């Protein structure tokens, strides 16, 4: 017994000693890394870099956006960023008109004429000549989770019934005042990894979504003119790509195509508190031309080129989907309603229902996964031909 006790005690002394050494080493390493002069200098550089960026972001949003990030060895940002073009000066002649409105209206009017923004990141998706359908998904820089779930579910680049599907995400610069540099670094990393990001150097905001639309049309008309069809959607939609391809196979891509959940005879909102409020000076008392709900709709490449052409001489309008309708009317493009586009309302999780649809709006990344896996099962199980909603 005594022998065992002594042995136990030796073990205890030994482990205590070891623990002591480990703790001592940790203290030494941490202390070294905090107080070592070289590391202190490096940390200071990083802090200054962030500080500069923060100050620039919060105090001086200059007219001419500056993209010369302060770079240190530790935090190295991609130099894919182009220099900003000639500054677009704000037009203050709308100050009186917008005096009683929320600041975003003044901002919109002051910068409405600024439409030329540098392309910061470019997707490789349109280099391939064989693309049948381009999935163009509006996203915000910070929505990396939504992009990840789109990439691995309906947005997969694949061949569906012989048709090549490709994908791009359309981004501006993040609006968030903090950590914008970190978000930008993440987006650039994503772009390198997936090659599916198109980003322009304008500040993302609710009223700048129309600007994104026209910049997309421009980019498409220059880089993707050979692509026959485009599905334009938000990053919170589910798309049944199989059904979309099936539908498109009957169309001649040289013709016009503008299909979705169509709004006819809708009037601008005059409730000042509404997010969608449109003052009289922006749109008169007539209804909007018919337009497809912005959650998602289909366009032919030929139609996009026409839309781009007329948009050059059309003042930007803050509601992006209504703006598409305004341009379509001018370009004499008919909008067609299709019951498979559900940009409103709750859809129950019945795989047999999703099997029949083309697009559903307002879906979280988790729901996307769920629908995606349910649909796989639905392809195996027989659905009643009468399952409709
Ligand atoms: C500002 O906008 C007004 C109204 O559209 C226009 O008449 C004027 O020429 C603009 N001024 C500048 C400097 O662009
Ligand atoms: C749109 O983006 C431009 C460029 O970044 C910016 O100057 C303007 O304030 C933004 N407009 C709105 C309404 O946020
Ligand atoms: C572009 O639009 C202009 C009018 O804004 C029109 O005269 C011209 O024919 C259009 N071009 C194409 C290729 O649609």
Residue nearest to atom 7 of ligand 1 (CA): 93
Of 389, 134, 325, 128, residue with least CA distance to 245? 134
Decide: 74 and 49 in contact? Cβ < 8 Å.
no
Give residue 377's Cα distance to chain centre: 29
Alpha-carbon gap, residue 307 to 320, rounded angstroms: 13
Report which of residues 175 and 366 the model is more confident about: 366
Whether the CB of 66 sits within 6 Å of ligand 1? no
Residue 79 has pLDDT above 80, yes or no: no
Burial (CB < 10 A; 0-12, 13-18, 19+), residue 51, is exposed
Query: Are 269 and 346 in a shared domain?
Result: yes
Please provide the average confidence, as pLDDT, over all residues in the chain. 83
Smallest-distance ligand from the CA of 97: 1
In-domain check, residue 298: yes
In-domain check, residue 110: no
Query: Are 372 and 258 in a shared domain?
Result: yes
In-domain check, residue 221: yes
Alpha-carbon gap, residue 224 to 129, rounded angstroms: 9
CA of 177 to the centre of ligand 1 (A): 30
Whether the CB of 203 sits within 6 Å of ligand 2? yes
Whether the CB of 208 sits within 6 Å of ligand 2? yes
Ramachandran category for residue 387: left, alpha or beta (phi over 0 → left; psi -120 to 50 → alpha) = beta
Bridge partners for 260 per DSSP: 337
Of 124, 130, 200, residue with least CA distance to 167? 124
In-domain check, residue 314: yes
Give the three-state DSSP class for 4.
helix
Residue 298 in tokens: 């289909």
Query: Are 180 and 326 in a shared domain?
Result: yes
Residue nearest to atom 13 of ligand 2 (CA): 108
CA of 108 to the centre of ligand 2 (A): 7
pLDDT at 133: 98
Dihedral of alpha carbons 274, 320, 114, 96, sign: negative
Query: Are 249 and 358 in a shared domain?
Result: yes
Residue whose entry in the numeric block shows the structure tokens 């993209």 = 67
Residue 271 in tokens: 């409730």
Query: Are 35 and 161 in a shared domain?
Result: no
Whether the CB of 221 sits within 6 Å of ligand 3? no
Residue 43 in tokens: 């940390």
Residue whose CB lies within 8 A of the most ligand 2 atoms, among 94, 98, 114, for a mutation test = 114
- The H-or-E segment that residue 216 falls in is helix 209-223
Structural domain containing residue 125:
119-376
Decide: 320 and 278 in contact? Cβ < 8 Å.
no
Residue nearest to atom 5 of ligand 1 (CA): 93
**What is the chain's Cα-based Rg?**
27
Residue nearest to atom 10 of ligand 1 (CA): 91
Residue 126 in tokens: 């349109």
- As for how many domains the chain has, the answer is 2
Report which of residues 48 and 225 the model is more confident about: 225
∠ CA 230-236-242, nearest 5°, is 45
In-domain check, residue 77: no
CA of 111 to the centre of ligand 2 (A): 6
Residue 4 has pLDDT above 80, yes or no: no
CA of 94 to the centre of ligand 1 (A): 9
Alpha-carbon gap, residue 341 to 260, rounded angstroms: 6
pTM of the model: 0.79
In-domain check, residue 92: no
Phi, psi of 231 (to 5 degrees): -105, 115
Query: Are 251 and 337 in a shared domain?
Result: yes
Of all atoms in ligand 2, which is nearest to the CA of residue 205? 14
Mean per-residue pLDDT, 197-226? 96
Give pLDDT tens digits for 247-298: 999 999 999 999 999 999 999 999 999 999 999 999 999 999 999 999 999 9
Could you give the percent of the chain with pLDDT greater than 90? 65
pLDDT at 169: 98
| Helix, strand, coil content of the chain in percent (nearest 5) | 40, 15, 45
∠ CA 84-87-93, nearest 5°, is 145
Query: Are 195 and 314 in a shared domain?
Result: yes
Dihedral of alpha carbons 100, 103, 105, 110, sign: positive
Decide: 141 and 183 in contact? Cβ < 8 Å.
yes
Query: Are 39 and 182 in a shared domain?
Result: no
Residue whose CB lies within 8 A of the most ligand 3 atoms, among 254, 309, 315, 327, for a mutation test = 309
**Weakest mean pLDDT among 58-72, 73-87, 129-143:** 58-72
Residue 13 has pLDDT above 70, yes or no: no
Instruction: Out of 12, 35, 50, pick the residue that ends a domain.
Output: 50
In-domain check, residue 62: no
Residue whose CB lies within 8 A of the most ligand 2 atoms, among 203, 204, 209, for a mutation test = 203
Residue 73 has pLDDT above 60, yes or no: no
Smallest-distance ligand from the CA of 313: 3
Whether the CB of 274 sits within 6 Å of ligand 3? no
Query: Are 266 and 353 in a shared domain?
Result: yes
Residue whose entry in the numeric block shows the structure tokens 């334009």 = 232
Query: Are 33 and 151 in a shared domain?
Result: no
Mean per-residue pLDDT, 97-121? 96
Rounded to 10 degrees, what is the CA torsion of 283, 284, 286, 289? -20
pLDDT at 350: 77
In-domain check, residue 99: no
Whether the CB of 115 sits within 6 Å of ligand 2? no
Residue 195 in tokens: 């090659």
């Amino acid at each position: 017994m005594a022998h065992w006790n002594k042995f136990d005690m030796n073990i205890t002394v030994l482990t205590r000693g070891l623990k002591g050494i480990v703790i001592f080493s940790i203290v030494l390493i941490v202390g070294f890394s905090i107080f070592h002069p070289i590391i202190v200098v490096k940390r200071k550089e990083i802090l200054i870099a962030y500080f500069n960026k923060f100050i620039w972001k919060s105090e001086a949003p200059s007219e001419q956006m500056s993209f010369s990030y302060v770079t240190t060895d530790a935090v190295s940002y991609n130099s894919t960023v182009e220099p900003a073009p000639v500054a677009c000066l704000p037009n203050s002649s709308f100050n009186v008109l917008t005096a009683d409105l929320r600041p975003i209206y003044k901002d919109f009017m002051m910068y409405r004429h600024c439409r030329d923004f540098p392309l910061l990141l470019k997707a490789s998706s349109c280099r391939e000549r064989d693309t049948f359908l381009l999935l163009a998904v509006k996203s915000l820089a910070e929505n990396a989770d939504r992009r990840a779930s789109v990439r691995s579910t309906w947005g997969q680049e694949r061949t569906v019934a012989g048709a090549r599907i490709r994908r791009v995400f359309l981004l501006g610069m993040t609006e968030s005042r903090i950590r914008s540099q970190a978000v930008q670094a993440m987006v650039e990393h994503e772009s390198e990894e997936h090659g599916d990001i198109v980003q322009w150097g304008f500040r993302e905001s609710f009223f700048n979504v129309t600007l994104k639309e026209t910049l997309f049309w421009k980019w498409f008309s220059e880089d993707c003119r050979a692509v026959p069809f485009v599905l334009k959607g938000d990053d919170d939609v589910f798309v049944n790509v199989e059904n979309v391809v099936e539908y498109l196979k009957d169309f001649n891509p040289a013709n016009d195509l503008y299909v979705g959940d169509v709004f006819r005879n809708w009037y601008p909102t005059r409730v000042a508190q509404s997010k969608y409020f449109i003052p009289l000076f922006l749109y008169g008392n007539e209804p909007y031309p018919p337009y497809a709900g912005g959650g998602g709709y289909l366009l032919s490449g030929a139609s996009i080129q026409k839309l781009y052409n007329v948009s050059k001489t059309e003042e930007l309008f803050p509601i992006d989907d209504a703006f598409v309708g305004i341009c379509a009317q001018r370009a004499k493009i008919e909008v067609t309603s299709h019951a498979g586009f559900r940009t409103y309302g709750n859809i129950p999780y019945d795989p047999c229902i999703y099997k029949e649809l083309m697009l559903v709006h307002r879906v979280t990344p988790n729901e996307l996964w769920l629908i995606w896996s349910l649909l796989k099962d639905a392809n195996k199980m027989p659905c009643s031909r009468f399952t409709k909603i």
